Amino acid sequence: MDSKHPRNPTRSLLLNHARRLFAERGFSAVSMRDIARSVGLQQSSIYNHFDSKQSILIELLRGHMLTLNQCRNDWLSDEVSATEQLIAFTQFHVAYHIDFPDDVFIAYMELRSLEPDNRKALVRLRDEYELSLQAIVQQGVTAGEFQCVDVAVHTRAIIAMLTGVTVWYRHDGRLDKDTVIHSYVTAALQSLGIPANDVAHQHELKKVKHV
């Protein structure tokens, strides 16, 4: 079945519409008929491209998690100071979450809709990402650059703070993307006790690319 190939246009269309619908209404509240209708197909035709409803969700979640980790690794370098790494991480994380809010929302909410084995694999990817920030925070604390009460708690606090951008950011809103990113970089740095006045604008923003 050639249709299983990612480049298949109908298959991509189905994935994109499923992503939007799952993000809007939640996995359980979206039917195969809803997905089919939104791309102009009969519900049965979806099964030429996917084995089941759950397999659509799995592919969306796995694609998001793999892309997130890969982009992060492309973006960050571990050969600079913890402060510079934190700035780069924050810029990347906020930019990515502004660009792909639906993926983020589905990943946050619908992990529980997965069967245990699939869920475990994705939780591992999520933990890998979180631990990559925790390593930066730990490095900064050890080097005396950062101040915090507990590294693990503070890491989760920063990730939650940054991820929250998906809830309110609108492209036609009051602030442009760079200003928003600048705000979050300042907040993240300061939260670890770094005065952010001087460093925040030194780093140019590269473009996040979704694979």
User: Interface residues with DNA (CB under 7 A)?
Assistant: 1-4, 8, 10, 30-34, 40-49, 52-54
- How far is the C-alpha of 10 from the C-alpha of 147, rounded, in Å? 51
Distances (CA, A) of 183 to 90, 124, 147, 186: 10, 30, 20, 5
Instruction: Return the DSSP state at 82.
Output: H
Task: Identify the residue among 113, 134, 138, 139 touching a second copy (CB under 8 A).
Answer: 113
- Look at the block and give the residue holding tokens 């869920």: 119
Smallest gap from Cβ 17 to a second copy, in A, equals 18
Interaction between residue 160 and a second copy (CB under 8 A):
yes
Asked if 104 contacts 208 with a C-beta cutoff of 8 angstroms, the reply is: no
Q: Judged by CB, which is closer to DNA: 53, or 154?
A: 53
Q: Which of 67, 69, 132, 191 binds a second copy (CB under 8 A)?
A: 191
Sign of torsion over alpha carbons 180, 185, 191, 195: negative
* C-beta of residue 175 within 8 angstroms of C-beta of residue 186: no
Q: Which is nearer to DNA, 39 or 187 (CB)?
A: 39
- 88 and 188 Cβ atoms separated by less than 8 Å: no
Number of amino acids touching a second copy (CB under 8 A) = 46
Please state, in angstroms and rounded to a whole number, the distance separating the CA atoms of residues 133 and 89.
Answer: 8
Q: Is 80 in the site for a second copy (CB under 8 A)?
A: no
Least distance between a second copy and beta carbon 196 (Å): 8
Q: How far is the CB of 147 from DNA (least distance, A)?
A: 49
Backbone angles phi, psi at 41, to 5 degrees: -125, 170
**Residue from the set 74, 78, 128, 150 that interacts with a second copy by CB under 8 A:** 150
Quickly tell me which residue has 């990612």 as its tokens: 6
Interface with a second copy, residue 178, by CB under 8 A: no
Residue from 195, 198, 202, 211 touching a second copy (CB under 8 A): that is 195
Q: Which residues bind a second copy (CB under 8 A)?
A: 24-29, 109, 112-113, 147-150, 152-154, 156-165, 167-168, 174-175, 179-180, 182-184, 186-188, 190-193, 195-197, 200
